[in-house]
Amino acid sequence: MAKRKGLTFYQKKKRMNTSLVKEIFSWSAGILISVFVGVVATLFFGMKIQVVGDSMHPDLLNGQSVYVDRFRYLLSTPKRGDVIVFLPNGNENAHYYVKRVVAVPGDHLMIRDGVLYVNGLESKWVKDYIKDPGIAVNDITLKSKEYFCMGDDPQNSEDSRSANLGAVEEIDIIGKVWFRGGYEELDMGFVK
């Protein structure tokens, strides 16, 4: 029998490829779960604050947003060089302080002739000349769970050198700065 040539209105129904649908669903579910875990982790273990003052200049500027990892110090302790966020003396009504850890528990420190010495060696974390040694004019030995913190710009920083602040207790530490956000021009009322 010969095939008929001409118009035909019969179309073959297309079948969906089930393995392709499963693959798409698998990828979509994985992406959604990842986004959900990321959002939950950020909300519960992180926070965003703004830097107040110029004490961390040039690395961090007044009004700049920073993101804080609140989970890290549940598993470990701050190290020299970490930039941390803390409440001074645990005061819940104070603004968050952002400073660099320059000495850890058990360290001996002193500021002599404008230079910070930790365990007898010049600190690599504070390079600028320190005009006001504060309480560090005398030798200080940090107790267990005490940290000596300073701003990167020591001339514009209220930090552990101040008698009213002193060494930062571990319990007052909120977390470690892990990401810098944009700089917001607070005085001018606009965002750069």
Which residues are known to be catalytic? 55, 99
Other Cβ atoms closer than 10 A to 97: 26
Q: How far apart are CA 80 and CA 96, in angstroms?
A: 20
Rg (C-alpha) for the chain, rounded Å, is 28
Q: Which two tokens stand for residue 66?
A: 């920073």
Q: What is the DSSP string of 51-116?
A: --SSTTTTTS-TTEEEEEESSHHHHS---TT-EEEE-GGG-TTSPPEEEEEEE-TT-EEEEETTEE
* DSSP designation for 9: -
Nearest to 109 by CA among 89, 77, 80, 82: 80
